[in-house]
A = this chain, B = another copy of it.
Amino acid sequence: MTRQELYQNIKKKKSFLCIGLDTDLKKIPRHLHSFSDPIFEFNKQIIDTTHDLCVAYKPNTAFYESIGSAGWESLEKTADYLKKFKNIFTIADAKRGDIGNTSSMYAQAFFGSMDFDAITVAPYMGEDSVTPFLQYEGKWVILLALTSNKGASDFQTTPLSLRRGVGGEAKEAKLFEQVLTTSQNWGSTDNMMYVVGATRAEMLADVRKIVPDHFLLVPGIGAQGGNLQEVVKYGMNKECGLIVNSSRNIIYASDKQDFAAKAREEAMKMQKEMEKLLEAR
Contact = CB atoms under 8 A, between A and B. Distances in A.
A71 B258 CA distance: 36
Nearest to A179: B155
Contacts of A159: 160-161
Nearest to A114: B68
A128 interface: yes
Contacts of A114: 68
Interface stretch (A6-14, A46-54, A98-106, A230-238): A98-106
A124 B126 contact: no
Contact of A99 (B66, B70, B72, B147): B147
A144 B125 contact: yes
Number of copies: 2
Contacts of A155: 123-124, 126, 175, 178-179, 182
A164 to B, nearest CB: 13
Contacts of A22: 102
Interface stretch (A28-36, A57-65, A200-208, A270-278): A57-65
Contacts of A211: none
Interface string A118-152: 00001111111110000000000000100111111
A159 to B, nearest CB: 5
B62 A102 contact: yes
Contacts of A65: 72, 105-106, 109-110
A249 interface: no
Contacts of A106: 62, 65-66
A53 B213 CA distance: 54
A154 B63 CA distance: 31
A63 B105 CA distance: 6
Interface in A81-121: 93, 95-100, 102-103, 105-106, 108-110, 112-114
A266 interface: no
Contact of A95 (B69, B72, B98, B147): B98
A67 interface: yes
A124 B113 CA distance: 27
A76 interface: yes
A97 B124 CA distance: 11
A74 to B, nearest CB: 9
A73 interface: yes
A201 B99 CA distance: 17
A147 B235 CA distance: 33
A149 B114 CA distance: 27
- A-B pairs, 6 with minimum CB distance: A126-B151, A126-B154, A62-B105, A65-B109, A69-B72, A66-B108
